[in-house]
Amino acid sequence: MKSYRFVTGAVVGVLTSATMMMAAQAAEYPAKSIELIVPYAAGGGTDLVARAYADAVNRHLPQSVGVVNKTGGGGAVGLSEIMAARPDGYKIGMGTVEITTLPNLGVARFTVADFTPIARLNAEPSAITVNASAPWKTIEEFLAYAKENPGKARIGNSGTGAIWHLAAEALASKTGLKFNHVPYDGANPAVTALLGNHIEAVSVSPAEVSSHVAAGTLRILAVMDDQRSKAFPDAPTLKEKGIDVTVATWRGIVVPKKTPENVVNTLRAASKKAVEEQGFRDQLNKMNLSYAYLDGPDYKVAMEKDAEMFKALMKQIGLAK
């Protein structure tokens, strides 16, 4: 039976190459190409950051970094895969703010503690944006309207439990106001509804409304950041207005928690060099994404702070399971 011979040959061949690969692994890291798991679809914000990063970091690592999209479950599928990956540094991932929100929703098995942060790359604050034809010129006017009409002000978000929903909820809980939160299938459809005047406001990031603000069809009333946005310096922060709410989405590189020290350090060093390249920053700028680099340890602190904040908030509004 020649077919058996053929099959045996194939099996032997694959086995030999696999053994060789394992032998190589024991040597210096990285000895083979690295997979960068992106928990969201190709072409979206997280994917664009990942691809720009892969492009830049490739020049500082002896092996190439390839982007693989693992979508589903609002990020839960991809993040679970990163968590469960063999901690050898050959499967790294884009860790997003959902690491801190999904566990509270009861749809994920991971928590912040399951990841070792390598570098934060980008962060986008939430912003309250209204239609340019709306009567509210300032955030105070809008909040006054919401106070007079409890439950009438409809704020579009990118899905229940998603970051922009939580941002609007955080604003509601700090100000004691009552909004009508309308979930959409992502930020873009919410912006579309705002353009058509079907809702009063959206809580998505300035980047996601920037073209409409530039065209004069939408107006940013306030951003939920510590400082004003560079692109829209006229929009005040909520902090300036005496409302202490800062909510942002962030994206960065994470690895499973048991990854060896030397691998983590190699990746941190390479990431630092990559983000210092002008090309990487230009790439982010072009895509309206803000550069927000934090090294591993600082990133970890920021992650843990958010995890605590969202846990308390989601429990308070009844989202946490």
Partner 1 sequence: MYELDMLLHGAQALFNQPMALLLALFGVTLGIIIGALPGLTATMGVAILLPFTFGMDPLSGLLMISGVFFGGIYGGSVTAILLKIPGTPAAAATAIDGFELTKKGQAGIALGTATFSSFLGGTASVFVLIFLAPVLARFALEFSASESFALAVFGLSIIASISGVSVIKGLIAGFLGLLLATVGLDPMAGFPRYTGGYTELFNVPFIPVMIGLFAAAEAFKSLEDPQVRAGMAAALDRIIPPWHVFRRQLGNIARSSGLGIVIGIIPGAGADIAAFVAYNEAKRFSKTPENYGKGELGAVAACESGANGCTGGALLTMLTLGIPGDAVTAVMLGALTLQGLQPGPLLFKDHADLVFTLFAGMLVCYVMMLVVGLGSLRFMGRILQMPKSVLTPTILALCIVGTYAINNSMFDIWIMLAAGVAGYFMQKWDFPASPVVLALIMGPMAEANFRRALSLSNGSYDFLYTRPITAALLTVAILTLMLPLLRRLWSSRSGGPTVNGPTVASSAAEGSK
Partner 2 sequence: MSHAPAPGGKSGLRPQDRLATLIIAVLVMAVAVAAIVAAGDFPPTMLETDVGPARFPIIFAVALLVLCAILIVNTLRAPAAPPDDPAQAGPRASYGTVAIGIVATAACLYAMEFVGYAVATPVYLFGLMWLMGRRNVIANAVIAAVLTALIYAAFAYALSVPLPVGSLFE
For position 300 contacting partner 1 by CB under 8 A, the verdict is: no
Cα atoms in the 13 Å half-sphere on the side-chain side of 188: 2
* Touching partner 1, residues 142-181 (CB under 8 A): 151-152, 154, 159-161, 180
Closest separation in Å from C-beta 197 to partner 1: 8
Which is closer to partner 1, CB of 74 or CB of 296?
A: 74
| Residues that bind partner 2 in the complex, under the rule CB under 8 A | 1-3, 6-7, 10-11, 14, 18, 21, 35, 66, 68, 86, 151, 160, 180-181, 317-319
Contacts 24+ apart (CB under 8 A), 179-183: 179/146, 179/151, 179/153, 179/154, 179/155, 180/151, 180/152, 180/153, 180/154, 180/155, 181/154, 181/155, 181/157, 182/154, 182/155, 182/156, 182/157, 183/156, 183/157, 183/158, 183/159
How many C-beta neighbours within 10 Å does residue 147 have? 13
Q: 122: which DSSP letter?
A: E
Of residues 220-279, those binding partner 1 (CB under 8 A): none
Residue 1 vs 215, nearer CB to partner 2: 1
Q: How far apart are CA 249 and CA 204, in angstroms?
A: 10
Answer whether 143's CB lies under 8 Å from 180's CB: no
- Token couple for 163: 């970051």
Nearer to partner 1, 48 or 57 (CB): 48
Q: Does 318 bind partner 1 (CB under 8 A)?
A: no
Smallest distance from partner 2 to CB 3, Å:
5
In the complex with partner 1, the residue whose CB is nearer, 37 or 238, is: 37
From the list 102, 105, 48, the residue with the least C-alpha distance to 78 is 102
Q: Which is nearer to partner 1, 38 or 128 (CB)?
A: 38
Is 129 a binding residue for partner 1 by CB under 8 A? The answer is no
Distance set, CA 129 to CA 148, 179, 209 (Å): 19, 14, 8
CB of 22 or CB of 215, closer to partner 2: 22
> What is the CA angle 104-109-114, rounded to 5?
95
C-alpha span between 96 and 193 (Å, rounded): 26
Determine, following the binding rule CB under 8 A, whether residue 309 of this chain makes contact with partner 1: no
Token digits of residue 20 = 């060789």
Indicate which single residue of 134, 191, 264, 267 sits in contact with partner 1 (rule: CB under 8 A).
Answer: 191
Q: Does 288 bind partner 1 (CB under 8 A)?
A: yes
Using the minimum distance from each CB to partner 2, give the nearer residue, 18 or 301: 18
Q: Which of 195, 243, 269, 309 binds partner 1 (CB under 8 A)?
A: 195
Which stretches of the chain bind partner 1, using CB under 8 A?
A: 41-44, 47-48, 51, 55, 67-74, 76-77, 80, 105, 107-108, 151-152, 154, 159-161, 180, 182-185, 188-189, 191-193, 195-199, 210-212, 214-215, 217, 283, 286-288
